[in-house]
């Protein structure tokens, strides 16, 4: 008797979602980012047990709970070192990191710099709304210096905005792109591209906070494709050219900025030691 094993069914984006219902405010851009992440995983057909999603603290950092892959909800600003350690110990895993502008660029700013320069093969998806949404609307590192929407800074924070793409390019990130939550299909494409590109990948997402920054609803009329006149997916491997394109960026350019060719960092690994060998190292 010829018994054939049926071919496994392809996973859909719904297979990568958990049964938990997101608690974000209605209209939050993070809903679309969650959708783009699950669609990207379905597009790549990655086994759920081979994917890990790490986050920090904040509205956007809730994302691991809303997926069915392995998740780790770390402490504020520490998602990148956790993800770096995980990828170094388990290079077979696809590691994604999710966070916001406050978590990633303020308390986590130093970790961001070193994650870029270490160039470990992971993908960092930052949902940037230029405000601390979970703690009720304070100015964040990417908030405009003259924004007067917070009672804590009624005359505006008065400091220069953190520039994520410029910092990432300077620090050595191997893939840099920006997307908009209002265009989830384009964002899905960027996430797929970032996951498949070796080394540290930054996907900077304009994700409006309609509760504390209702003016960000206008993002949909402000975003446009391409950096410096390039096409949406025309990322350059030339760092100098990428900087030139950033000089013409108004903060609303979407697409791929930079695709580097630096090999991803891989820690040197020795053959496993026995317990006796490890104990012997501590015997004088």
Residue in this structure with the two tokens 């309609």, named with its chain if needed: 210
Banded model confidence at residue 4, pLDDT cuts 50, 70, 90: low
Which tens digit of pLDDT belongs to each residue from 95-123? 999 999 999 999 998 999 999 999 999 99
> Residue 69 pLDDT more than 60?
yes
pLDDT for the residue 271: 66
pLDDT, averaged across the chain: 92
Please report the pLDDT score of residue 275 as a whole number.
74
Give the sign of the dihedral formed by CA 218, CA 17, CA 38, CA 204: positive
User: Given its phi and psi angles, is residue 166 left (phi above 0), alpha (psi -120 to 50 degrees) or beta?
Assistant: alpha
6: confidence class by pLDDT, cuts 50, 70, 90 = low
Query: Which pLDDT score, from 0 to 100, does residue 34 have?
Result: 97
**HSE-up (13 A, CA, CB side) for residue 80:** 29
Nearest Cα neighbor of 94 from 54, 56, 34, 35 is: 54
Distance CA 173, CA 155 (A): 35
Is 31 a residue whose pLDDT tops 80?
A: yes
Indicate whether 172 pLDDT > 90.
Answer: yes
The pLDDT of residue 210 is 94
Residue 91 has pLDDT above 90, yes or no: yes
């Amino acid at each position: 008797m010829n018994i054939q094993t049926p071919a496994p069914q392809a996973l859909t984006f719904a297979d990568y979602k958990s049964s938990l219902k997101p608690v974000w405010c209605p209209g939050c851009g993070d809903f679309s980012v969650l959708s783009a992440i699950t669609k990207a995983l379905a597009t790549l057909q990655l086994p759920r047990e081979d994917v890990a999603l790490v986050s920090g603290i904040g509205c956007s950092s809730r994302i691991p709970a809303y997926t069915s892959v392995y998740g780790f909800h770390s402490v504020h600003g520490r998602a990148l070192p956790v993800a770096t350690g995980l990828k170094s110990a388990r290079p077979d895993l696809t590691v994604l990191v999710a966070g916001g502008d406050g978590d990633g660029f303020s308390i986590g700013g130093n970790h961001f710099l070193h994650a870029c320069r270490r160039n470990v093969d992971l993908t960092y998806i930052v949902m940037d709304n230029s405000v601390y949404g979970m703690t009720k609307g304070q100015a964040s590192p990417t908030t405009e210096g003259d924004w007067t929407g917070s009672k804590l800074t009624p005359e505006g924070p008065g400091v220069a905005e953190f520039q994520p793409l410029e910092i990432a390019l300077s620090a050595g990130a191997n893939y840099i792109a920006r997307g908009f939550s209002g265009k989830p299909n384009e964002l899905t494409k960027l996430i797929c591209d970032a996951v498949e590109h070796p080394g540290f990948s930054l996907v900077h997402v304009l994700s409006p906070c309609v509760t504390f920054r209702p003016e960000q609803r206008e993002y949909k009329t402000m975003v446009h494709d391409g950096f410096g006149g390039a096409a949406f997916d025309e990322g350059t491997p030339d760092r100098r050219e990428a900087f030139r394109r950033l000089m013409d960026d108004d903060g609303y350019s979407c697409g791929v900025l930079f695709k580097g060719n630096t090999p991803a960092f891989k820690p040197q690994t020795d053959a496993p030691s026995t317990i006796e060998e490890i104990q012997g190292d501590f015997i004088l």
